[in-house]
Chain A
């Protein structure tokens, strides 16, 4: 019987104690003492358990890049191991599985080894990217530092939360990069999923799914209007997985502008 989401107080206390005891020496370790074999073993575990969210070689995807000298949520090895061990449910990171202490140290060794592998390829100019952001009308739908519209996700700290490759994909192929919901009951479900409903009286409403349960669905139109329906009142519900109401900017931006925009977004909210 193993059910996800279980965090034992014992292991938490152990981890806290461990992080207090080990914090100082571990800070500087950065994989020191780890053999090449440990790093290879860690890489294999990472490929199965972590790549889908953190990207190949930890370059970042739906979840933050890990190929950095300092990880904001895991400044030392003990904390890194605790984060892997318990997940960060409040940030959407599950405890993928239970690892042995040896597996944890192998994973940590591999993740630390990524820092020297160089940063993710952010080649653009963030300052120029800010101008691209403004010129392209992104603020119509997105909030950055308090300014902008609210139809799309807030981007104030997006550079911390996502990797640059994911950001690039979200600009050129938005439907392939829908964020996952944190709303109760829809955890893991696509957020901003395009949806069209037709009521039994023949009215059609198209927008994004805000929430859904077995009996109701909540839809926001691009105008910002929120609609709530009982499914019993609907003739049809069509969801469009893989699509987005945000247009692709592939043809609207030059490759330099795209690089710059990615660099701007990657700079948001991160001290890393």
Chain B
């Protein structure tokens, strides 16, 4: 009797595996070894290194021209900036403003969808109401919302396991990022510097939602870094948002998280100083939230050049010695390489036109050019107010050693205005007007990852918002503001495939395999497209 049951159960499991591939637990051990299962896409950046690189090779230079549509999924209205997660036959996509939907990865058919209640008066001064994706750990997916919540959902049903308020949205705090799941922990950051928030990074118990730690990105008086703020109340509304997913090195046990602009953005009069830890990358102990080292890209920023761009972790020799490195193409138009063990500055070089810095010193600190501060009448500075790079993901291929970045080559007139803090009101102190049209340019650049040296470039038309993904098939996938989806030769930049998708591409490409067949998925407009070979 007992044996029979076991046999029946085993048979049932086997059948289910064939028929529907029931979800296995996406354990922390699997997340650490995500690179070993390229058929899935388990974290925002593909792996903890955030390289947005697929080791799959079925789709390659020789055959990419024959890609065809497998299925499409139409999302809710709004701007779609999601990076799908693919785990064991299910794709989890997010839709604006804060919806998550599980799709059958074979057919695109919906398995469940969850939309939290979002108050109509939600405050999102820093961005459109978007969501960039979920995190998965064990049998739970984690969602941040524009109402300031972090929600854990059962991966099979979308049922709510827990729902916590990260911080009160009436004060301008909200979440657009994909959380990052570590060992029993969920890490989340917030948007809202344009409402005068004081930024922080939070860690929550993945099972219960209990907050384990909070690390503020703007120190209170007396705390480390407070010497870079004046002796007034500026720190209370000092910004330093943490609105993009970080990276993680399990061997060093260091969590890398980036921070945004100080507040108010364009009027620094009340906050003279470097304003730590804004516009920086922080290396943190994920068990305590302690900052182990930091590197500030833009001290005392006055152009809204957040450092909330992806930090990519990779290993390469520098002067003959193998190093653990961290690279970022920063919004301020410089590409940086740091030692990720110590935070030591290794090199930086401009990857886009910039007119604000004379040079960087040997520590990577910029020497500002005079006359580049925002003014009432407007000061023309490159890069643009939204930067030479922004939230959209770059990619790194260990095969080519190249760092691929979609670049926004444009300038803006920066205005300085009034900056008076009122809770729940914009706190920006100015703004910018873009130099647009034929005077601006979008371009994909491939940089030698260890030096930032330009290897090749592929011109787009207008500066875009699409992310890039390199693959072991020697391809770089991306999209354009004009609606093109494309694949370039990863070594030369030569275009090998493109299709007009009919909507501006703000999507983040991922790749995965089903039944041994490789797919590429990316959104354009409000449609998620998945492509495969015939």
Contact = CB atoms under 8 A, between A and B. Distances in A.
B193 A1 contact: yes
Contacts of B138: none
A214 B478 CA distance: 12
Interface in B447-493: 458-462, 480-484, 486
Interface residues on B, range: 35 or more
B378 interface: yes
Nearest to A1: B126
A213 B500 CA distance: 9
A10 interface: yes
Contact of B438 (A3, A193, A216): A193
Interface stretch (A91-99, A129-137, A197-205): A91-99
Nearest to A52: B433
Interface residues of A, number: 43
Contact of A4 (B386, B391, B418, B481): B386
A1 B417 contact: no
A45 B413 CA distance: 13
Contact of A239 (B241, B376, B434, B438): B438
Given A2-B385, A98-B194, A180 B437 contact: yes
A225 interface: no
Contact of B304 (A1, A9, A10, A213): A1
Contacts of A165: none
Q: Main SS of the interface on chain B?
A: loop
Nearest to A213: B482
Interface string A76-111: 000000000000000000101111111100000000
A102 B461 contact: no
Nearest to B308: A1
B179 interface: no
Contacts of A21: none
Interface in A145-199: 180-181, 184-190, 193
Contacts of B107: none
Interface string A1-16: 1111110111001000
Nearest to B481: A185
A139 interface: no
Interface string A33-48: 0000000000011011
Interface centre among A2, A13, A101, A102 (most CB of B within 10 A): A2
A239 B123 CA distance: 43
A260 to B, nearest CB: 32
Contacts of B265: 2
Nearest to B128: A6
A98 B125 contact: yes
A188 B437 contact: yes
A44 B378 CA distance: 10
B377 A9 contact: no
Contact of A2 (B304, B481, B504): B304
Given A2-B428, A102-B418, A49 B378 contact: yes
Contacts of A48: 375-378, 413, 415, 433
A1 B132 CA distance: 15
A97 B432 contact: yes
A188 B428 CA distance: 25
A103 B442 CA distance: 33
Contacts of A3: 126-128, 386, 390
A241 interface: yes
A6 B125 contact: yes
Contact of A1 (B127, B418, B433): B127
A212 interface: yes
B298 to A, nearest CB: 14
Given A1-B308, A2-B385, A214-B461, A185 B418 contact: no
Contacts of A215: 484, 486, 495, 498, 500
Given A188-B436, A189-B462, A213 B194 contact: no
Contacts of A100: 417-420, 425-426
Given A10-B120, A102-B418, A232-B495, 7 more contacts: A1-B191, A2-B194, A8-B129, A99-B417, A185-B481, A186-B482, A215-B498
Interface of A: 1-6, 8-10, 13, 44-45, 47-49, 52, 94, 96-103, 180-181, 184-190, 193, 212-216, 232, 239, 241
Which 8 A-B pairs give the minimum distances between C-beta atoms?
A: A97-B431, A185-B482, A188-B436, A213-B482, A48-B378, A188-B437, A10-B121, A189-B437
21 contacts: A2-B125, A3-B386, A4-B386, A6-B125, A9-B121, A9-B122, A10-B121, A44-B377, A45-B376, A48-B375, A48-B378, A49-B433, A97-B415, A97-B428, A102-B420, A103-B418, A180-B437, A189-B436, A193-B438, A214-B442, A214-B480
